[in-house]
Amino acid sequence: MFKISEFSKLSQVPAKTLRFYDQLELLKPAYTDQQSGYRYYKSEQLLQLHRILAFKDLGFTLEQIKQLLKENVSNAEIRGMLRLKQAELHSLIQSEMERLGRIEARLGCIERQSDGRLRHELVVKKVEPLLVATLKETTSRASIPGLFEEIDEFLRKNGVAPTVPHMVMWHACPECESSIELEIACPVPRELSNTSRFQTKVLPEMTVATVTHISRPDEDTPVSIELGSWIEGNGYRISPELPSREIYLSPQENDKLRYVTESQMPILALG
């Protein structure tokens, strides 16, 4: 038998790692001296150690490897696990390639900026489904604050305390002066009775390019140009089926007409 130092040298695995594997009961020594605590290994244990290292190299956790060795898993079962790991790695690679593309696009934007800075930080995120009360109307941007008040009054009448954020969903022509088709929405904790004016519905899950900035709901915001440029430069396209959103998160303390605003553009990956 070999002392742990000798087995470490033979296997090219640090003695510290071998002790850790012993603690996990992943690779127990063939013999442990009860008085000195010295660990001793047999040469046949190299096969088990190399199998552990092979599974670890394939991305399995030590706990998964422990189960694989303990249960004497069949080749068919190992093949299935490897297929899952393969799919997981393909997904990770795709995600990281998209991240790399965003980094390269951001570098390009910085290099094009005269002062070397971006005006806003743009990110991609997934928006979860959301239950909201809505009010849809074709109107002008100037009427949005009044529509906020109208939907707040509807919520109060239904026993729901109105809170920020308010949301505006742009269905058509957000740049038009008097013919904007928009929808005001507020999150609600439960379904409310629909009327000819108000509806309760669940907004769908979607992936968005988003930017946070300061704006007034009754004034145009300039960030759409930045969003469009970013989407184009990062290998996405705008979803034709979902409206863009502006979420008015909180009013500023020194100017209640201006809000911390999150602009969201629904996107699809090119492919």
Confidence of residue 148 (pLDDT cuts 50, 70, 90): very high
Range 127-136 average pLDDT = 95
pLDDT of residue 264: 93
pLDDT of residue 198: 96
Two structure tokens written together for 49: 């150690």
| Residues 85/56, Cβ–Cβ less than 8 Å | no
CATH number of 122-269: 3.20.80.10
Using a 10 angstrom Cβ sphere, with 0-12 exposed, 13-18 middle and 19 or more buried, the burial of residue 123 is exposed
Confidence of residue 160 (pLDDT cuts 50, 70, 90): very high
Phi and psi dihedrals of 18, rounded to 5? Answer: -65, -40
**Domain segments of the chain as ranges:** 2-73, 75-118, 122-269
pLDDT of residue 85: 84
Residue 148: DSSP 8-state: H
- The residue with tokens 């249960």 is 71
Residue 145: DSSP 8-state: H
| Lowest mean pLDDT, pick from 105-114, 209-218, 225-234 | 105-114
pLDDT of residue 118: 47
% of the chain beyond a pLDDT of 70: 89
Interval 66-106: pLDDT, tens: 888 876 777 787 788 888 888 888 888 888 887 777 677 66
- Residue 252 and residue 234: Cα distance in Å, rounded? 32
- Residue 254 and residue 271: Cα distance in Å, rounded? 46
| Residues 49/13, Cβ–Cβ less than 8 Å | yes
Q: Name the amino acid, one letter, at 255.
A: D
Confidence of residue 227 (pLDDT cuts 50, 70, 90): confident
Confidence check: pLDDT of 176 > 60: no
- Residue 192 and residue 194: Cα distance in Å, rounded? 6
- Residue 71 and residue 65: Cα distance in Å, rounded? 10
Two structure tokens written together for 9: 């040298």
pLDDT of residue 147: 94
What DSSP letter does each residue of 35-93 carry, written as one string?
Answer: TT--EEE-TTHHHHHHHHHHHHHTT--HHHHHHHHHTT--HHHHHHHHHHHHHHHHHHH
Residue 127, CB-side half-sphere exposure with 13 Å CA sphere: 23
- Residue 137 and residue 118: Cα distance in Å, rounded? 35
pLDDT of residue 117: 47
From residue 263, alpha-carbon distances to 104, 169, 176, 224, 228 in Å are 23, 10, 18, 8, 12
CATH number of 2-73: 1.10.1660.10
pLDDT of residue 177: 53
Confidence of residue 109 (pLDDT cuts 50, 70, 90): low
Confidence of residue 114 (pLDDT cuts 50, 70, 90): low
pLDDT of residue 134: 96
pLDDT of residue 246: 93
- Average pLDDT value for the chain: 84
Same CATH fold assignment for domains 2-73 and 122-269: no
Confidence check: pLDDT of 154 > 60: yes
What DSSP letter does each residue of 184-213 carry, written as one string?
Answer: EEEE-SS-----SSEEEEEEPPEEEEEEEE
Residue 113: DSSP 8-state: S
